[in-house]
Amino acid sequence: MLFNQLGLSAELLRAVVDRGYLEATPIQQQAIPLILEGRDVLAAAQTGTGKTAGFTLPLLQRLQATPSDGRRPRALILTPTRELAAQVGESVREYGRHLPVRTAIIFGGVSIQPQISRLRKGVDVVIATPGRLLDHVEQRTIDLSCVEIFVLDEADRMLDMGFIRDIRRVLKLLPRQRQNLLFSATFSKEIRQLASDLLDKPTEIQVAERNTAADGVKQIVHPVDRRRKRELISHLIRTEDWSQVLVFTRTKHGANRLAEQLTGDGLSATAIHGNKSQGARTKALADFKKGDVRILVATDIAARGLDIDRLPYVVNYELPNTPGDYVHRIGRTARAGREGHAVSLVCIDEKQLLADIERLLKLPIDKIVVPGYEPDSRIKAEPIQNGGSQQQRRHKSNARYGGGAGSRQSRGGSRGGSYESRRRVGT
């Protein structure tokens, strides 16, 4: 189905064509007409399916049809991470380029003053992470009483990160009469409970089987000893002339170390993770997108929300502890119907992690040993040492019991600093 068959305005269709799109994806075909009708929507959509345009385009059209007071935001899009907020904000600006729509992107890690100045000038759409949004609420620099459309993006990730209490605080600030859109990669019991509290007689959309990779992703595993992974990834990038590679590690320290080692190998590389300042994260991503840096080494902070046009290669230098995160990682490639490659370097320690991923996907992944890098059968598996699993359990527990980063316990009763800076779970 073409975009011009979905009832979108001429201005929005121009913006879609400007971005090089003609045919709508399945999630867009189903979501856009429903949202244009004013319906509440509960949608399960995997990464890379075009869901951002699926809610952004009809949201902008509905705002076109209603008057504005010129000051207070009429649409609020809540995202779990800074990178995703920036990505969604870019989409809103691009699709609204032929409309008189004003946007503000609000997240922590940067000065709050430019955001305050932007809000004072009046905005129509706010894209925000929960912590910094509540900073503005506490400082009375934002008024959410006129929000007509509320979007909760990556809701499952929100719950994993312990944001349930923050979400409920935001909901209390919104008017009762509004349109609600909830997008999630999965329909877990917790997501359905949140949906029942948030949505009014929603239409449910599920465009792909849960935890499936995009059709255009060619997945492959290269068995290799742990100590030879860095040597192998350098070899692959050089000999196969990979021009743009997103590499995932489990830890921040591991990301820094690998980026330094690859740079030492003569390959331009930089790292992005939660301990980097927002300015450093933004610069690293921008340099990678422009092609100034060949390799971006990232933790799972980049597993969602990074939309890199035509990214050809994703490499799992280390497999994630959670199988579902593998799906999100490889979803950075083969976006919008394109093709891409997901390469995993797997040592004997990760044998069970790989089995869990294959069980989730319900299919085996092709395994090819690279000549010269054959695994040593004498090496025994060792436990994988990192804090990821314990941290994830803590986040899920916080979300389940209504605690999380915004609770009094996590804030420690401190009155110093901003709401965002007092959070234990960074956004």
362: left (phi over 0), alpha (psi -120 to 50) or beta: left
Kindly give, in sequence order, each residue whose CB lies less than 8 Å from that of residue 359, ignoring residues fewer than 6 positions away. 323
Cross-strand partners of 181: 41, 151
State the Rg of the chain over Cα. Answer: 22
DSSP state of 369: P
| Dist CA 350 CA 356 (whole Å) | 10
Q: Say if residue 201's pLDDT is above 80.
A: yes
pLDDT confidence of residue 318: 96
Contact (CB, 8 A) for 327 and 211: yes
Q: Confidence band (pLDDT; 50, 70, 90) for 334?
A: low
Q: Confidence band (pLDDT; 50, 70, 90) for 302?
A: low
pLDDT confidence of residue 52: 92
pLDDT confidence of residue 95: 96
Q: Say if residue 417's pLDDT is above 50.
A: no
Q: Confidence band (pLDDT; 50, 70, 90) for 30?
A: very high
| CATH 3.40.50.300 segments of the chain | 3-206, 217-367
Q: Where are the beta strands (DSSP E) in 185-242?
A: 203-206, 217-223
Cross-strand partners of 180: 150
Q: Say if residue 239's pLDDT is above 70.
A: yes
Q: Tokens for 60, please give them.
A: 């902008």
Contact (CB, 8 A) for 405 and 162: yes
pLDDT confidence of residue 336: 55
Residue 263 C-beta-side C-alpha neighbours within 13 Å? 12
226 vs 44 pLDDT, higher one = 226
- The fold for domain 217-367 equals Rossmann fold (3.40.50)
Residue 222 C-beta-side C-alpha neighbours within 13 Å? 25
Q: Say if residue 317's pLDDT is above 80.
A: yes
Q: Confidence band (pLDDT; 50, 70, 90) for 209?
A: low
pLDDT confidence of residue 281: 84
pLDDT confidence of residue 303: 62
Q: Say if residue 10's pLDDT is above 70.
A: yes
| Dist CA 82 CA 79 (whole Å) | 8
**Smallest Cα–Cα separation from 382: which of 358, 357, 356, 352?**
352
pLDDT confidence of residue 332: 79
Q: Say if residue 388's pLDDT is above 70.
A: no
| Dist CA 296 CA 306 (whole Å) | 12
| Dist CA 273 CA 325 (whole Å) | 16
pLDDT confidence of residue 348: 96
Mean pLDDT of 206-213: 64
DSSP string, 257-270: HHHHHHHHTT--EE
273 burial type by CB count under 10 A (0-12 exposed, 13-18 middle, 19+ buried): buried
Least confident of 136-140, 209-213, 242-246: 209-213
| Dist CA 67 CA 146 (whole Å) | 11
In this predicted model, what pLDDT tens digit does every residue of 13-25 receive, in sequence order?
Answer: 999 999 888 899 8
pLDDT confidence of residue 410: 33
pLDDT confidence of residue 210: 56
- For residues 138, 108, 124, 143, the Cα torsion angle rounded to the nearest 10 degrees is 0
| Dist CA 78 CA 129 (whole Å) | 6
pLDDT confidence of residue 384: 85
β-strand pairing of 203-206 with 269-272: unpaired
Beta carbons within 10 angstroms of residue 365's beta carbon: 16
- State the average pLDDT for the chain: 85
Q: Say if residue 273's pLDDT is above 80.
A: yes
Least confident of 41-45, 288-292, 322-326, 407-411: 407-411
Mean pLDDT of 331-335: 73
How much of the chain, in percent, has pLDDT values that exceed 70? Answer: 85
pLDDT confidence of residue 275: 83
In this predicted model, what pLDDT tens digit does every residue of 79-135 receive, in sequence order?
Answer: 998 888 998 999 999 999 999 999 999 999 899 999 999 999 999 999 999 999 999
Least confident of 11-25, 65-79, 325-339: 325-339
Beta carbons within 10 angstroms of residue 374's beta carbon: 12
Least confident of 117-121, 358-362, 373-377: 358-362
pLDDT confidence of residue 157: 83
In this predicted model, what pLDDT tens digit does every residue of 143-161 receive, in sequence order?
Answer: 999 999 999 998 888 888 8
DSSP state of 2: B
Q: Say if residue 68's pLDDT is above 90.
A: no
CATH code, 3-206: 3.40.50.300
pLDDT confidence of residue 386: 57
